[in-house]
Amino acid sequence: MAIFKRPALKTQSRKKREMPQGLWQKCPGCSEVVHEIELAQNQRVCPRCDYHFAQSAKERIENLLDPESFVERDADLRSVDTLQFQGMATYKDRLLKYQNLTGLTDAVLSGHGMIEGYKVAIAVMDFSFLAATMGSVVGERITRTIEYGTANRCAIVIVSASGGARMYEGMLSLMQMAKTSGALARHACERLPYISVLTNPTTAGVMASFASLGDVIIAEPKSMIGFAGPRVIKETTHQDLPEGFQTAEFLEEHGLIDAIVHRKKMRAQISQFLSYFSSTS
């Protein structure tokens, strides 16, 4: 079982910070220029307008869990090109490209750890790896995380982000929806809590399976959340999309999620839920 600890993580993110390119970014929220260090020190939230920049799975785990508590599991699972997908680039090429680009082995990091003393099974998706599409490895890691929670009688936290199914794995990709949801059915039967956290963007197959099945479902502000892509909806219906369509705020307004939680309050909020649901009195 692979373990990585906080110091290792810090080294990694510091390395990133020293990269000469992309030190300054224009904030999509306020159009101000923000320095990389400022973002890194602020959980990648714009200090001026609270815009939530994309955050890596490693950073999220570092921010959510108690120090040194994360134990990664199933790190040795690797996607395979079962269908021998060709197209303009092969699946194998793409996997390799994103493994090199992100330092990740696939689009989710999973394992267990503690949040303010509560033990949790946790899986965090990372959009930078092939748009966090769900293939067999993502589905298997999520399922094993859920099963770990069931076996060890602990809560599950899944931080979702996804562009949907991983087309390159054909129907095996779609079937991960059934597999993960089935595992959640068993976890729920044991009356154990599952906190689903939606980040920007969470869509399609992931949204239509485990991401929508939390006992509580919370989202980061302004996250794009939905089933179908806005372009597809526009092309199909020839309708103008309502203001703020498929944002976390839109979903909250329509009664589809429990709450919108600022990234810097996420850990405290999850911990509060855990204390509510873990209480036996």
Q: Cα–Cα distances in Å, from 121 out to 84, 111, 250?
A: 33, 6, 29
Considering only residues 42-81, where is the footprint of Zn ion by CB under 5 A?
A: 46, 48-49, 51
**Spatial CB neighbours of 240, under 8 Å, sequence gap ≥ 6:** 234
Give the total of residues touching another protein (CB under 8 A).
Answer: 75
In whole angstroms, the minimum distance from the beta carbon of 132 to another protein comes to 16
In whole angstroms, the minimum distance from the beta carbon of 39 to Zn ion comes to 10
x/- contact string, 131-170, with another protein (CB under 8 A)?
A: ----xxx-xx--x---------------------x-x-xx
Strand partners, 26: 33
**Spatial CB neighbours of 231, under 8 Å, sequence gap ≥ 6:** none
Considering only residues 171-190, where is the footprint of another protein by CB under 8 A?
A: 171-179, 181-186, 188-189
In whole angstroms, the minimum distance from the beta carbon of 64 to another protein comes to 19
Cis amide linkage into residue 47, ω under 30° from 0: no
In whole angstroms, the minimum distance from the beta carbon of 199 to Zn ion comes to 17
User: Which partner in another protein, Zn ion, none is near 149 (CB below 5 to 8 A by kind)?
Assistant: none
* Helix 170-189 × helix 136-151 angle, to 10°: 10
Out of 55, 56, 150, 212, point to the residue binding another protein (CB under 8 A). 212
Strand partners, 160: 198
Which residue's structure tokens are 């963007």? Answer: 201
Out of 4, 9, 27, 262, point to the residue binding Zn ion (CB under 5 A). 27
Among candidates 151, 67, 144, which has minimal Cα distance to 108?
144
Out of 213, 216, 249, 260, point to the residue binding another protein (CB under 8 A). 213
Considering only residues 14-43, where is the footprint of another protein by CB under 8 A?
A: none
Report the alpha-carbon distance of residue 261 to residue 247 in Å, rounded.
Answer: 13
Torsion angles phi and psi, residue 149, rounded to 5: -60, -45
User: Which partner in another protein, Zn ion, none is near 242 (CB below 5 to 8 A by kind)?
Assistant: another protein
Q: Are 131 and 144 in contact (CB under 8 A)?
A: no
Q: Which CB, 50 or 147, lies closer to another protein?
A: 147
User: Which partner in Zn ion, another protein, none is near 46 (CB below 5 to 8 A by kind)?
Assistant: Zn ion
210 contributes a contact to another protein by CB under 8 A: yes
In whole angstroms, the minimum distance from the beta carbon of 185 to another protein comes to 5
Per residue in 120-136, is it b (16+ CB within 10 Å) or e — as a string?
bbbbbbbbbbbebbbbb
Q: Where do contacts with Zn ion occur on this chain (CB under 5 A)?
A: 27, 29-30, 46, 48-49, 51
